[in-house]
Chain A
Amino acid sequence: MPANTDNDLASANDLMPGRAAAVAALKDVPHVPGAQKPDPILVADHVSRQFGGLKAVDVAHVEIQRGAITALIGPNGAGKTTLFNLLTGFDKPDTGKWTFNQQQVAGMSPYKLARKGMVRTFQLTKALSRMTVMDNMRLGASGQLGERFFPSLLPFLWNAQERANEVRALELLGRFNLDAKLDDFAGSLSGGQRKLLEMARALMTNPEMVMLDEPMAGVNPALTQSLLGHIKNIREEGTTVLFVEHDMDMVRDISDWVIVMAQGQIIAEGPPDAVMRDRQVIDAYLGTHHDQALTKDGTSLTQDSSGE
């Protein structure tokens, strides 16, 4: 990608006020692990989780900026998924406290956290196989009267709500190129389509913050482009996005801020370009002896390190 001119940047910001706001807010945040953000939606302290002798997660402090797209990157086994599991209540930490919207949420059960607006997807996709794509989506909607035991027996109480949810589901499915699959069993979808369905289903809850664990894994390049567009749209609609991704080109394309984990700890933070130039990050990813770039077009400036 050629360097952006000031003009390009300005017009992009006009089109994406959400991005402009996020970039502006993060402009003065220092590029250090655990940096304080001007308006954090999530603040975690001393979160740790041990598996046997292995400290999978050991995060001293981390803040996630509201309304921004934050990428969580790191080599395999860095502890990204484990951190997701801890923060969303699916796993219990050995130590640690964290707040979501200023409210203490450590120890809260995962369904309550999801209701508070912190909704995640899974690295290993969890499509509900023997349910149709549309039913998967309907299930996502929150606050459904028909999901309560006795009202469920009286369809006239919840029919209108159901129709409204279907309209929203159709709109989302359209965005994710799944609208032709409405009545298919989710189990009959391809791996990539299941990823898309899971993301669309998570969005049905109207989350305040979505946490996506490798949303692009297995999605074809053409669709990846439109998916990136959708994630940017989510931010423009005011939703905070935290996502795990291994493809550095994508990370650079969409994230406003990048947090790097290695061996359970946060080792670097900053805007994408700065982080990918960081020696520590390159070392963590590629080992200490390397002459490759993290992205295809070489933004990680490998000239600096090729002298080894």
Chain B
Amino acid sequence: MDFGIIFSQTLTQAIGITAIIYCLAAVGLNVQFGYTGLLNFGQVAFVAAGAYAVGVIVLTFDLSLWLAILVGILASTLLALILGIPTLRLRADYLAIVTIAASELLRLLVRSIAFKDTFGGAQGLNGKLGQQFHDLNPLPSDFTSLPVLTWTRQDLWVVIVGWLLVVLFTLLVWGLVRSPWGRVVKGIREDEDAVVSLGKNVFVYKMQALVLGGIIGGFGGIVWAVAKQSVQPDTFQPDFTFFAYTILLLGGAARVFGPIVGAIIFWFLLAGVGELLSQMIQAGYIDFLSATDVGSIRFILMGLGLMLLMIFRPQGIFGDRRELALDAR
């Protein structure tokens, strides 16, 4: 068993591209759920909107990636409006139902034969999606790899820009939630009617939060398409959203740094357990499992860990237990 490899693999994944994508999705959820109390169970739809915008604009229509990013933002906004207009005036649970249904509907739509020419059907869109971005890579062309962190030259460039995006959106969220705007949305989370009675147009605030969180999630999809140079419908399953929620709760909802810490720890644990198990199986320490089981076993262990977290630290890593106790009154 090589602990060096386990460590380097785990760390690389903990702050790697996938962690960034989930982190962006969770930053968006933090705006929607953490601060405003909106139950968006279809965050993956916004990620898909961002990813498919890149796929369709760059591959199907052979246009610029920069235009694609703009379209991704517009698509996320449009999706938020479509989901929000009929549901945000209703009770909170309606949004939850509509968003989860819409995310599945959207996935089935883009993978359908009818739109194969545009969205590529079940195979999705594969090709040089992020070329324009990768052409800008400032890293020396003889770059091989950092010590410990095993990204390729191309991946490292995505990781750098990806974390910059995370920092940028985190700053934006921080600026918003410490302002009177943030006070209003937190009020909406606590009791919508009280905020209405003070003369605030609650619908507009909820819509703003839904759109902003959707756009940030959409950027997760844009990073995805650019990094993996491929957009496939079946990667946008509902479990994506639930992992993003896990990350948010792990770090602590309604905490500015919650999603970042949550994403890193989530992927550190998931990758760490996976690497460790694989190595142990390879070395013959475990003989009742095969290497192919590792994928699912690590999620089982993850679930167990989350249950323990919820029992012993339900407020997440950054949360304030005092706040949580208030709900019980």
Q: Which A residues are closer than 8 A to B by beta carbons?
A: 88, 90, 110-112, 114-115, 119-122, 126-131, 135, 138-140, 142, 144, 146-149, 152-153, 155, 158, 162, 185, 187-188, 198, 201-202, 204-205
Contact = CB atoms under 8 A, between A and B. Distances in A.
B302 to A, nearest CB: 28
Q: How large is the interface on B (under 10, 10 to 19, 20 to 34, 35 or more residues)?
A: 20 to 34
A155 B177 CA distance: 12
Contacts of B194: 122, 126-128, 198
15 contacts: A90-B196, A114-B196, A119-B198, A121-B197, A126-B194, A128-B191, A129-B190, A129-B327, A130-B186, A130-B189, A130-B190, A130-B326, A139-B183, A148-B181, A187-B329
Interface in B181-213: 181-184, 186-187, 189-191, 193-202, 208
A186 B82 CA distance: 35
A138 B191 contact: no
B187 A205 contact: no
B140 interface: no
B63 interface: no
A115 B180 contact: no
A139 B187 contact: yes
Given A110-B196, A139-B195, A202-B197, A152 B175 contact: yes
Contacts, number: 105
Point out which of B172, B180, B186 has the most chain A C-beta atoms below 10 A from its C-beta. B180
B179 interface: yes
B199 A115 contact: yes
Nearest to B89: A109
A139 B323 CA distance: 19
A122 B172 CA distance: 35
B90 interface: no
Interface of B: 172, 175-176, 179-184, 186-187, 189-191, 193-202, 208, 322-323, 326-327, 329
A122 B193 CA distance: 9
A120 B197 contact: yes
Contact of B186 (A119, A126, A131, A187): A131
A202 to B, nearest CB: 7
A185 B322 contact: yes
Given A130-B190, A188-B326, A149 B181 contact: yes
A59 to B, nearest CB: 21
A144 B182 CA distance: 12
B329 A110 contact: no
B180 A138 contact: yes
B200 A153 contact: no
A111 B191 CA distance: 14
Main SS of the interface on chain A? helix
A160 to B, nearest CB: 13
Given A149-B208, A152-B182, A122 B187 contact: no
B199 A114 contact: yes
Contacts of A202: 197-198
Given A111-B199, A119-B198, 17 more contacts: A110-B196, A111-B201, A120-B197, A122-B193, A126-B193, A129-B190, A138-B183, A139-B195, A146-B179, A149-B176, A152-B179, A152-B181, A153-B172, A153-B175, A153-B179, A162-B180, A204-B198
Contacts of A139: 183-184, 187, 195, 198, 200
Given A128-B191, A152-B182, A205 B176 contact: no
B81 to A, nearest CB: 15
B256 to A, nearest CB: 14
A131 B200 contact: no
Point out which of B181, B189, B323 has the most chain A C-beta atoms below 10 A from its C-beta. B181
Contact of A142 (B182, B193, B199, B326): B199
B39 to A, nearest CB: 17
Contacts of A187: 326-327, 329
Contacts of A152: 175-176, 179-182
Contacts of A131: 183, 186-187, 190
Contacts of B175: 152-153
Given A126-B191, A130-B190, A185-B323, A88 B197 contact: yes
B181 A147 contact: yes
Contacts of A112: 199
B139 to A, nearest CB: 33
Nearest to A128: B190
Contacts of B197: 88, 90, 110, 114, 119-122, 126, 202
Contacts of B172: 153
B24 to A, nearest CB: 19
